[in-house]
Amino acid sequence: MTIHQLEVRPGTVTQVFSRDTPAVLAVDPGDTVVVESLDASGHLEPQSFPGEVRPLMFTDRRGHCLTGPIEVRGAQPGDMLSVHFEALTPGGWGFTVAGRRDDAFTRSLGVAGGEPEWLLWELDRERRTGTNQFGHTVQLRPFLGVVGMPQPEAGEFSTTPPRAAGGGNIDCRELVAGSTLFLPVTVPGALLSVGDGHAAQGDGEVGGTAIECPMTSRLVLGLEPNPPLQAIHAVTPGARITFGFNADLNAATAEALGAMLTWLQALLGLSRTHALALASSVVDLRITQIANETWGVHAVLADDAVVRNR
């Protein structure tokens, strides 16, 4: 196993998904990569007061500031890429902003049409807490919002919506250190890009941002020979997770739950209807995020939810 270092600099970042973007690093399956990433906006410096304009990595910002792409040698479409989050360390600062959108949802909340409001956070990595300018302190639970690969088609694709093909802006707060995310490979070499560090986020990312922060991520990249599912799924320190992504919340829910039923069938040898009956007692459905043009839903099966006695 080789350990690689991937630092942030102008030649190692991207803000779109494209199969034609050259890899900035090539690794073998099983290798470890220590990846630096800026916050989603690509700030080079923290704000000293709320809303202050600070230098950005990309002056013509088009999407998330991501580090990559990383080629995984031998990866081909049809394979399943495993991304194990061995360690996730946020930077010393972060921000949250709400009120930047004017749409039906923000109007229903009574927050459209005004000035955006910012929270600036000081992050204490030892105590795993963040404190904002109002003195509010929260527990940190860091994870990467964007972990994904390009679409198989030619062209440049937005980093904003998550996609069943390749992943991307999943924004799932369950993917903390110790978790492994499994993504269907979309292009030769995988061409994985990561970023959008979140020091903490609630399910839904309801204001449009989490605690956005720089992140140093220690990732182990591999190819999974016998995945339980061919769709995006994850194993966390305490649960199994499946995902659904769709502009229709009902469709996203059905996608996430359907994948979990398939997993339950394989785990316990059940018919699909029996799996649904069991899921009704033990599976949690959570709204992953509402911020990214496409609804995200994840189904969660805790490791201790079912004990098989015979």
pLDDT band of 112, cuts 50, 70, 90: confident
Query: Across residues 133-150, what is the average pLDDT?
Result: 98
Tokens representing 309? 């006695």
Q: Identify the CATH number of the domain defined by range 233-302.
A: 3.10.28.20
Read off the tokens for 162.
């998550």
Residue 76 CB neighbours (<10 A): 11
The pLDDT, as a whole number, for residue 310 is: 64
Question: pLDDT at residue 308 above 80?
Answer: no
pLDDT digits (tens, 9 = 90+) for 169-202: 999 999 999 999 999 999 999 999 999 999 999 9
Residue 43 to residue 213: CA distance in whole angstroms: 9
The token duo for 239 is 């649960």
Q: Which CATH superfamily is domain 3-223 in?
A: Acetamidase/Formamidase-like domains (2.60.120.580)
| pLDDT at residue 231, as a whole number | 97
Residues 6+ apart with CB under 8 A from 108: none
In this predicted structure, the answer to whether residue 240 has a pLDDT above a threshold of 70 is yes
Q: What is the pLDDT of residue 102?
A: 87
pLDDT beyond 90 at 22: yes
- For the chain, give every residue range classified as CATH 2.60.120.580: 3-223
CATH 3.10.28.20 residue ranges of the chain are 233-302
Instruction: State how far Cα 307 lies from the chain centre.
Output: 30
Task: Give the pLDDT mean for 19-35.
Answer: 98
Tens digit of each residue's pLDDT (9 = 90 or more) over 204-222: 999 999 999 999 999 999 9
- pLDDT tens string 54-63: 999 999 999 9
Q: Tell me the CA distances in angstroms from 187 to 11, 98, 150, 158, 165, one per residue in order.
A: 21, 36, 7, 17, 10
